[in-house]
Amino acid sequence: MTNNTASTNQATDGRSALASPPLFAWRTIDLLTAALIGVALGVAFWGWNLSYEFLAVPFRAVAAPVVGLLGGTWLLAGVLGGLIVRRPGAALLAELLAASVSAVLGNQWGWTTLNSGLVQGLGAELVLLLFLYRRFNLGVAALAGVGAAVAASVYEWQVYWTDWAWDYKLIYLACFAVSGAVIAGAGGWLVTRALARTGAIDAMPPGRELHESRAI
């Protein structure tokens, strides 16, 4: 009864519903949900990879680093996994699985995609850790997207953009961060709310949060 009451208070006073305690005790449903997010978005990433080079042309015509505005899509799995599962490691697991599926299906970067998935997932994970996995609102979601984008940008400076001057690198980071905040952050938050309204994630904290807020 105490846990239920606490959970209700978290939902009804504007705070986030949390994963059932203990925080590090993953349930089977948590693992399956993170895996499903990773696989589904890995397929979506594969489709995005196919169209990326074409979509990037007008951005590169403005300036090469502006292509970072397209990068937020690749960060969505980690942010979404973190927002829905709300346990340590969920963002990293979902992003790594998505990167793995994208690599298996085939893309222009091959298995190095897993390196990107690792740093992107860790970037989102670090932001959620800073809030001790207790806040999952729009602001935190946007920050998680930015964290993933910053981590990805620093990695890509060392691997893909080695010949860029610092002004180009910083423009790329800024564009990537904006895309991460909007597409992965705000987009992931909206997707989470939409899934909660369908009842598809009733067993997860966002589903419980929605039902408890309606019970006021």
* Predicted confidence (pLDDT) at residue 12 exceeds the cutoff of 70: no
pLDDT digits (tens, 9 = 90+) for 166-214: 999 999 999 999 999 999 999 999 999 999 999 999 999 999 998 887 7
**Which residue shows structure tokens 């979404």?**
80
Taking the whole predicted model, whether its pTM rises above 0.85 is answered as yes
pLDDT digits (tens, 9 = 90+) for 30-84: 999 999 999 999 999 999 999 998 999 999 999 999 999 999 999 999 999 999 9
Q: Measured between alpha carbons, how far is 56 from 146 in angstroms, rounded to an integer?
A: 20
Q: How is the chain split into domains, by residue range?
A: 28-209
Task: Evaluate whether 29 touches 203 at the Cβ level (below 8 Å).
Answer: yes
